Amino acid sequence: MRSRLLLAVSLLAVSLLAGCGKSTVNSPASSDTPSLDQAQVASVVALEPEVVEDGQFESTELTSLGANPGATGALAAINPLHFWRVITSVERRFEFAFADSDSTGRPTTAIVTVHKSLAGRFNILTGVPGGDDTAIDSSVSVVRKPLADHWVRRVLLKRLPVSDSTRGVWRVVATSGVKVTSRAATTRIESLRFQTAGLDTTLTDPLHFFYLRRILKLEPGTPVTLTVTTLKNDDVVVMCRFGHRFRFHNNGDHTYTGVWQVPDLRVGPGPRPGPGRPPIFHFGVNALSHGTLFDDQAPYDSQAWLLPVLLAPDQVADALP
């Protein structure tokens, strides 16, 4: 809720500044686009937080690395048990790009790119292999690493004609996924394969647009097999979803596999869809370098992809543009 409120406040401030002709956002088309269009687009996006905020990556929820986390002996300086993030600062920046002018010279397409700079700490609870991570003794400690992540997402809007307005009305028609990359990261996700009983698809770019009417629909309880491909053979890949944070199996060939069961948003942790809103939620995967978790001197090195999903079988056609 706090993240959504900050988004709304930030975008409404942008709309007010644009209306006054004093916008400080990065607007590549600002010299050709009336400020009123930018103000209207910003206002519309501010009212649609479900297609902007992922509600996942800024969570402080613990992720467990399992009973046998991996490297031991000379290959690991520490024995990680759990990790979590604490975000202490969020800075937002918005880019507006307009295109597809109509016969009057007015744009009919807008793309808003949302950037967030996240700063804070990456925390690792360490202990002895096979030890009790709940015991308070010298074998359990917390390693804290500085965290600086760049979060990015794109939102597509169209200006639709209406009978009682010569200007038309802007509507959100598509949203991308989210890509979050740490500063100076060497860790990269190459692809994410998504498999259910009736679907097998592979995503190679999380910033690809998902049109709202065609967002992936999943029923609660559906088992989903996720396969992540990265550049390295010793990364740690984990699930990012409220109440479903776990480590993937390393297949030994630069791929990592996990099985996730689609949650019922009516129960359990995490935000609920707002009244009258389509039940869009987000899940994702996070790849971390081996040193991030197994070396107390190595820097934090991470990349995450977060994707929108629609909870089926709800009837959402009337609620989406």
Q: Is the pTM of this model over 0.95?
A: no
Cβ-in-10-Å burial (0-12, 13-18, 19+) of 264 comes to exposed
pLDDT at 24 over 70: no
pLDDT at 270 over 50: no
* pLDDT band, very low/low/confident/very high, at 289 (cuts 50, 70, 90): very high
Give residue-wise pLDDT tens across range 34-54: 688 999 999 999 988 889 999
Domain count along the chain? 1
* Among the listed residues 174, 149, 203, 163, the one whose alpha carbon sits nearest the alpha carbon of residue 52: 174
Question: Hunting for tokens 């918005």 — which residue is that?
Answer: 94
- What integer pLDDT is reported at residue 36 of this predicted model? 87
pLDDT category of residue 200 using cuts at 50, 70 and 90:
very high
Which of 161-175, 184-198, 272-286, 306-320 has maximum average pLDDT?
184-198
Backbone conformation region of residue 167, classed left if phi is above 0, alpha if psi is from -120 to 50, else beta: alpha
**CA–CA dist 110, 116 (Å, integer):** 19
3-class secondary structure, 72: coil
**Position 134 pLDDT exceeds 60:** no
| DSSP designation for 113 | E
pLDDT for the residue 315: 44
- Distance, in Å, from the CA atom of 247 to the CA atom of 244, rounded to the nearest integer, reads 10
Range of the domain at 84: 2-319
pLDDT of residue 114 exceeding 50: yes
